[in-house]
Amino acid sequence: MTTKSAVAAARATVYGYPRQGRRRELKKAIEGYWKGRVTADALRTTAAELRRTNWQQLAEAGIHEVPTGDFSYYDHVLDTTVMVGAIPARHRAAVAADALDGYFAMARGTQDVAPLEMTKWFDTNYHYLVPELGPDTVFTADSAKQVAELAEALALGLTARPVLVGPVTYLLLAKPAPGVPADFDPLTLLDRLLPVYAEVLADLRAAGAAWVQLDEPALVQDRTPAELNAAERAYRDLGARTNRPKLLVASYFDRLGAALPVLAKAPVDGLALDFTGAAAANLDDLAAVGGLPGKRLVAGVVDGRNIWVNDLEKSLSTLGTLLGLAERVDVSASCSLLHVPLDASAEREIEPQILRWLAFAKQKTAEAVTLARGLAQGTDTIAAELAANRADLASRAASPITHDPAVRARAAAVTEADARRSQPYGERAAAQRAHLGLPLLPTTTIGSFPQTDELRAARADLRAGRIDTAGYEERIRAEIQAVISFQEKAGLDVLVHGEPERNDMVQYFAEQLTGYLATRHGWVQSYGTRYVRPPILAGDISRPEPMTVRWTAYARSLTGRPVKGMLTGPVTMLAWSFVRDDQPLGDTARQVALALRDEVNDLEAAGTSVIQVDEPALRETLPLRAADHPAYLAWATEAFRLTTGGVRPETQIHTHMCYAEFGDIVQAIGDLDADVISLEAARSHMQVARELAAHGYPREAGPGVYDIHSPRVPSTQEAASLLRRGLEAIPAERLWVNPDCGLKTRDWPETRASLESLVAAARTVREEIEGVSAS
């Protein structure tokens, strides 16, 4: 039983909730607005209805204090950029003319104006828009969105807590604006930014906010003394102001480490800490600094990033220890529930017993409420929930899904030689050049072509029984024919089949591997209106039969040019799934790698000479603390080499990465031992090419010259300019020409025009090089 003081203290809350709606109403409304089918007022009405539904459901579930301000049309970091008035100069006129259209222009760009750069939010698959700052940046407060959404929640009679990206994290996530020296440090703007935050906080207090949450996840990363000093100054300044609500500073995704004593001593009113996974170290660290006397602690004991049911008794033990370390202890998920699907009960096709192992946002909310009740009123009041939870955990542990002796025996028998190509890169490169006969600056795409409404309708018709398998496959063959024909006419050198049969680059494979579960409604936001359904990696992994050979072989039969086989790599299969948490990630990665190795070998045996194994999540999954990097990179790079290590020297292995910071993993990119890597580079103006050169990367590379996350079509001159910039870092004999990423989300008209520009740019620059050589 808990003490009487805990009864008054323990309440449940969350930091954020999925934005999209049960049927992805937000996505449909925004895309309808972009296409002119939905008015701005109708979009705002849909958004307000979704916010109201979320808040009411949270309150009805027992959440005492609902979050506001976490809702976004596109990205909460972009919302922060608007809140502090840091609009890039090239977008100011559009924002002034129409705030909503200007907002989307910053996110997506227009034909004439480039968008903000986009990259991964810490080690998640969520993407944020990178703030662009410089020494001349002038901040101005615009709290309209935050105040309006708080007012909406208060009008419903709810207790509400606005959630903002904290000032230190905002500056640490920012980059120098175009034209600003690369060594400019946005953190030098802190003293200029703090009065703007103080004004926003004052506005929220005047609007009725008792508490405001300031998220500082950047502080869980390795931070310099200067950066920690900036955090200390920021919260000394904001905490000392009198015209403010109570301040709750939140961190998540890892342990705070050296930043914990800084925040514990700051004149703020509470901390929200993650106590899951590696962040469980926060418990001992908090005790070591003497706890939070006189302050509120929000304990994130429910994992906000994975979908497995909570071990309630373990969490209660953690919470019991925390009771003595703060004046008041509340219970929450470890981070915003933005990173998990909405409701597991909607999954009618998952076997009921297995479904009891899963907790999506709605179920995690219930877990937090149950834990708060047990902490406040004693475990006797949640005895039934504890018994059911014990049974669910035992059912999962004993399930045959989680243990396949043959898979485990094969993984245990792997040797170092299995993860090594038979010849070094230099010898392979010569064999590949002779075998493929490609021109200087070869052109290709990343894999997918537009997923049209007709393709989606064909999949829906197949599921509904309106067409049979033969009819569906005829539509797929027709699409592959069209994609191959277009690429040949456009002049691309290495072709792809376009992936019309694939619903998603991870789900497609997961549905054909044992050990995975697929969801029907498990949508999670990746960026903007792009939602994915991460499969659930629940058990041991194997490949019953070939997955891609048939369609790749069909595409090859239509052309005399090389056609890439396209696979998703083992690290990305893990990172973009909800992965089992009952064994080390490295063990699971090895199982996935062995299944993919079988597919690579079958593709080669069928005559495929170029095979791409995408690993866009290699950098994303990098642990946030440098001390944890070596162990992760060891198993991650081994898994890739195990996937690709069995092919002949003349078979060219490609990989692809996008929308992350690659400078600190260039050595690991080399350790993959891929022959060619393609990378996102258009929005970052070829930064990655310079990083590869600075590290002496010796293999072939294709830094992207076409930003596929924007609807704008690059001109031939623009693509050629980027290509020339790439040549400053990578010699022509090792440089490929390609888009940033796959074309699945683009429409056909812009795809055709953009790829024609890309090919023309390669031809132009190729002729320039050959002209110089001839002279």
How deeply is 737 buried, as exposed, middle or buried, from its count of CB atoms within 10 A (0-12, 13-18, 19+)?
buried
Distance CA 340, CA 531 (A): 11
Which residues lie below 8 Å from residue 560, measured CB to CB, with a gap of 6+?
none
* DSSP conformation letters of 538-557: EEEEE-SS-SSHHHHHHHHT
Token couple for 532: 């994915």
Distance of CA 271 to the CA centre of its chain: 26
Contact between 558 and 480 (Cβ < 8 Å)? yes
The residue type of 752 is: R
Q: SS3 sequence, 29-79?
A: HHHHHHCCCCCHHHHHHHHHHHHHHHHHHHHHHCCCEEEECCCCCCCHHHH
- CA separation for the pair 204, 383 (Å, rounded): 40
Q: In angstroms, rounded to a whole number, what is the distance separating the alpha carbons of residues 459 and 469?
A: 10
Distance separating alpha carbons of residues 275 and 296, to the nearest angstrom = 15
Q: Are strands 676-679 and 66-68 parallel, antiparallel or unpaired?
A: unpaired
**403: Cα within 13 Å, side-chain hemisphere:** 7
CA dist 513 and 387 (Å) reads: 33
Tokens of 296: 């509120």
Show the tokens assigned to 79: 């919302």
Tokens of 154: 């208060």
Q: Active site residue: 91, 339, 521, 709, which one? A: 709
The residue ranges of DSSP E strands in 312-446, in sequence order, are 326-333
Q: If you count them, how many residues does the chain have?
A: 775
CA gap 505, 576 in Å, rounded: 9
**How do beta strands 514-517 and 536-542 pair?**
antiparallel
Neighbours of 545 (CB within 10 A): 9
736: which residues sit within 8 A by CB, 6+ positions away? Answer: 441, 442, 443, 444, 676, 678, 700, 701, 702
Tokens 């050629």 map to which residue?
Answer: 720
Rounded Cα distance, 382 and 570, in Å:
40
Tell me how far apart the alpha carbons of residues 55 and 65 are, in angstroms, rounded to a whole number: 9
Strand partners, 542: 514
Active site residue 709: yes
Task: Find all residues with CB under 8 Å of 775, minimum gap 6, and list them.
Answer: none
> Which helix or strand (DSSP H or E) is residue 677 part of?
strand 676-679
Spell out a b/e string for 581-592, using b for 16 or more CB atoms within 10 Å of the CB, else e: eeeebeebbbbb
Q: Which of 705, 641, 703 is nearest to 668 (CA)?
A: 641
Residue type, 206: A
Catalytically annotated residues: 709
